[in-house]
Amino acid sequence: MNDKITSSYKASKNIYDSILTQSSLFGKLYIKTFWHGVDDNRIAAELLRYIPDRFSGRLLDVPVGTGVFTCEKYKRMTKADIICLDYSEDMLEQAKARFAKNGIDNVTFLRGDVGALPFEDCAFDTVLSMNGFHAFPDKDKAFSEITRVLRPGGRLAACFYIRGRSAVTDALVKNVLARKGWFTPPFDTSGELMKRLERAYEVTNWHIRGSMVYFRAVKKQEKR
Ligand SMILES: C[S@@+](CC[C@H](N)C(=O)[O-])C[C@H]1O[C@@H](n2cnc3c(N)ncnc32)[C@H](O)[C@@H]1O
Which CATH number belongs to the domain containing residue 34 in this structure? 3.40.50.150
pLDDT in tens, the chain (224 residues): 468 778 876 766 777 788 888 888 888 888 888 898 888 899 999 999 999 999 999 999 999 999 999 999 999 999 999 999 999 999 999 999 999 999 999 999 999 999 999 999 999 999 999 999 999 999 999 999 999 999 999 999 999 999 999 999 999 999 999 999 999 999 999 999 999 999 999 999 999 999 999 999 999 997 65
Distance CA 47, CA 128 (A): 9
Contact between residue 40 and residue 210 where contact means Cβ atoms under 8 Å apart: no
Helix (H) or strand (E) holding 72: helix 71-76
Ligand 1 and 65: CB distance under 6 A: yes
What pTM was computed for the model? 0.95
Ligand 1 centroid–CA 224 distance in Å is 35
Q: Ligand 1 pocket check: which of 10, 66, 114, 146 to mutate, most ligand atoms within 8 Å of Cβ?
A: 114
Q: What values do phi and psi take at 23, rounded to 5?
A: -85, -10
Distance CA 173, CA 80 (A): 35
Amino acid at 196: R
Distance CA 219, CA 160 (A): 19
- pLDDT of 223 reads 67
Q: Is residue 146 part of a domain?
A: yes
How many structural domains comprise the chain? 1
- pLDDT of 224 reads 57
Ligand 1 and 35: CB distance under 6 A: no
Ligand 1 and 160: CB distance under 6 A: no
Contact between residue 212 and residue 160 where contact means Cβ atoms under 8 Å apart: yes
Q: Which atom of ligand 1 is nearest to the CA of 92?
A: 27
Going by CA atoms, what residue is nearest to atom 19 of ligand 1? 113
For residue 122, which of 91, 86, 92, 151 has the smallest C-alpha distance?
151
Contacts of residue 224, Cβ cutoff 8 Å, sequence gap at least 6:
none
Local structure of 125: helix, strand or coil: strand
Going by CA atoms, what residue is nearest to atom 5 of ligand 1? 65
Ligand 1 and 69: CB distance under 6 A: yes
Q: Is residue 187 part of a domain?
A: yes
Angle at 211 (CA atoms; ends 205, 212), nearest 5 degrees = 40
Ligand 1 and 154: CB distance under 6 A: no
Going by CA atoms, what residue is nearest to atom 10 of ligand 1? 132
- pLDDT of 119 reads 98
Tell the burial category of 216 from Cβ atoms under 10 Å away from its Cβ (0-12, 13-18, 19+): buried
Q: Is residue 141 part of a domain?
A: yes
Q: Is residue 224 part of a domain?
A: no
Q: Is residue 181 part of a domain?
A: yes
Ligand 1 and 91: CB distance under 6 A: yes
Q: Which atom of ligand 1 is nearest to the CA of 16?
A: 9
Going by CA atoms, what residue is nearest to atom 1 of ligand 1? 131
| Local structure of residue 5 (DSSP, 8 states) | H
Domain, as residue range, for 144: 2-114+121-219
Q: Which atom of ligand 1 is nearest to the CA of 115?
A: 19
For residue 77, which of 97, 100, 101, 105 has the smallest C-alpha distance?
105
Distance CA 43, CA 119 (A): 28
Q: Is residue 193 part of a domain?
A: yes
